[in-house]
Amino acid sequence: MIQITGVSHRIGTAPILHDITAAMPAGRLTALIGPNGAGKSTLLRLIGRLEPCQAGRIEVDGLDVGRTPTERLALKLAILGQQTHIASRLRLRELVGFGRWPHHRGRPGPADQAAVEAALDAFGLAGIAGRFLDEVSGGQRQRAHIAMSFAQATDWLLLDEPLNNLDMAHARALMARLRGLVRDGGRSAVMVVHEINYAAAWADHIIAMKDGRIAAEGPPEAVLTEAVLSGLYDTPVSIGSHLGRPLVLHHA
Amino acid sequence: MRLLPALALLLPPLMAASLMTGASSVDILRAGGDPQALLVLMESRLPRTLAVVLTGAALAVAGVVIQSLVRNRFVGPETAGTAEGAALGLLLVAILWPASPVWLRMAAASLCAMATTALFLAIIRRLPVREVMLVPIAGLVLSGVLGSVVTFIGWQTDLLQYVNAWVMAGDFSGVLAGRYELLWVAGAAAALAWFAADRFAILGLGDQVATGLGLSGRAVMRLGLVVVAVVTSMVVTTVGMIPFVGLVVPNLVSRVMGDNLRASLPVVALSGAALVLACDILGRLVRHPYELPVGLVLGVIGAGLFLWILHRRPANGQARGQAHG
């Protein structure tokens, strides 16, 4: 379980998070939803220790993120931030291979190589694994980054808008794979997601954020209601149902 | 294309050519029976050849390291304030303690070079990431400012000649046995970089990725600073600044092999050695028996290569945009 207790955060003088207390259950796929600027990415980055925690406490399976050595955390959680431009010319296989670094620290063994090939396979990259990052499309690059996080093989997977740049089929395949990891692999995942119906279709647990606070928290049926979402996005939405899951309707 | 074996085959003939090239003609195969030839070979030609190889290899590796620290391909040890920092350190220790032992001068040069390179890193952290060309420009400005500080102090203290030996175009003609051995330290620092190759490669992916993989960016940064500063200081104090090696060689190798440094650093080192050695031989042949300093030869050839790299980069970027736009 990820336990967040009394976390506040500022960037410069701008308050981003106000006294957040929340829990993300282990063995579940948790989706962070909310309008732009709600603080979802910041919260994820704090859990993944990409930013130092200014106030409050974050624990991942009992490990205090602020005090646990970073190399120990790298075996507990993998975080995929929003993609930034990478100047390095790496082949996709080499990039995914760096996901194994926390395990081998410079001396990859057969198990590491197998994990890399498996991750490349899982994201349909095996055929282009020898290409350089700057020779593939944005979606392929995004999949390579996700494959790198998978190869890290941690209990927790934190993904910040992993569906960016992915077409419908690859987005669906990623969600299915994530759910497979969670249901069958005993892993846990937290993802920031903008397209709310991906959360509706695949998430086990939803945390809705607005203005740096938790607006609602719970299973999809409890959070994805007309009242909660209309308030969350300041936009009228209605909720339908598709294959037994909520479907958020917000066209016109 | 297997670059490493190809370069490994290219280097020995170049070294042999270097042993045979110079004002007096020496037949390396018969040198055993000719004391005069043996003297030239062991006291001058061999030290010179080793000095050139060590310098080329170490500077090229230092170039890779500084480029992965700043995540910018248009930076080298000569445009990051490092060489001027080393000169400043040497100058200060020469003024404050003229009779200081060699190790102390080297330590002062390395420490000052580290400080000025760290200053460069601190400056470019505040630059907008997208403005790729601002980084080398900031480096050139910083190098210029530091260079003028060094010149000013040299002028005031009548040590300008001393200073010019370091900051002017490098030259191997003064290398003799007993006067180049510090370059082995530069070679050792470059070898150290190979052991940390994965760390530099991961740091090149950005702070976010490095932290996610449990790597302390600061520790890698410090190690990189040590490598770049030590290599540059040893080269500057022994033979003067050799331009363009640390800038051009990493770019050329990355173009072919990419940035998996564990695999590419040996190729970078051999390429740097071969490039400087070829330029040094050329400098000895152009107006034989006189010499052109290698810095001058590299200035011309390196600048040409660099312009070619500059010209090619945007073309690639455009093609990429069209392919996936």
Instruction: Give, for all 325 residues of chain B, the pLDDT tens digit.
Output: 588 999 999 999 999 999 988 877 777 777 777 888 888 888 899 999 999 999 999 999 999 999 999 888 889 988 898 989 999 999 999 899 988 888 888 899 999 999 999 999 999 888 877 777 888 999 999 999 999 999 999 999 888 887 877 766 688 888 888 888 899 999 999 999 999 999 999 998 888 899 999 998 888 999 999 999 999 999 988 888 888 999 999 999 998 899 999 999 999 999 999 999 999 999 999 988 888 889 889 989 999 998 888 887 643 433 333 333 3
Q: Roughly what angle, to the nearest 10 degrees, separates helices A138-151 and A110-122? A: 140
Contact (CB<8Å) B212/A75: no
Cα B120–Cα B115–Cα B100 angle in degrees, nearest 5? 145
Nearest to B254 among A71, A85, A89 (CB): A89
In words, the CATH class of domain B45-311 is mainly alpha
Contact (CB<8Å) A94/B73: no
Can you give the pLDDT at residue B319?
Answer: 34
Residues of A with CB under 8 A from a CB of B: 48-50, 69-75, 78-81, 84-91, 94-95, 98-99, 101-102, 106, 132, 134-135, 137-138, 149, 152
- Report pLDDT digits (tens) over A202-239: 999 999 999 999 999 999 999 999 999 999 999 888 89
| pLDDT less than 70: residues of chain A | 252
- Residue ranges covered by each domain of chain A: 2-249
Residues of B in contact with A69 (CB under 8 A): 214
Residues of A in contact with B255 (CB under 8 A): 89
Q: Say which residue the tokens 């312009």 belong to.
A: B307
Assess contact for A11 and A41: CB atoms under 8 A: no
Nearest to B259 among A71, A90, A135 (CB): A90
Residues of A in contact with B216 (CB under 8 A): 70
DSSP string, A172-194: HHHHHHHHHHHHHH--EEEEE-S
**ipTM, two decimals:** 0.90
In words, the CATH class of domain A2-249 is alpha beta
Q: How far is the C-alpha of A157 from the C-alpha of A209, rounded, in Å?
A: 20
Nearest CA in chain B to A93: B260
Residues of B in contact with A106 (CB under 8 A): 198
Q: CA separation (Å) from A242 to A205, A224, A239, A245?
A: 18, 13, 10, 5
Burial A61-79 (b: 16+ CB within 10 A, else e): eebebeeeebeebbebbbb
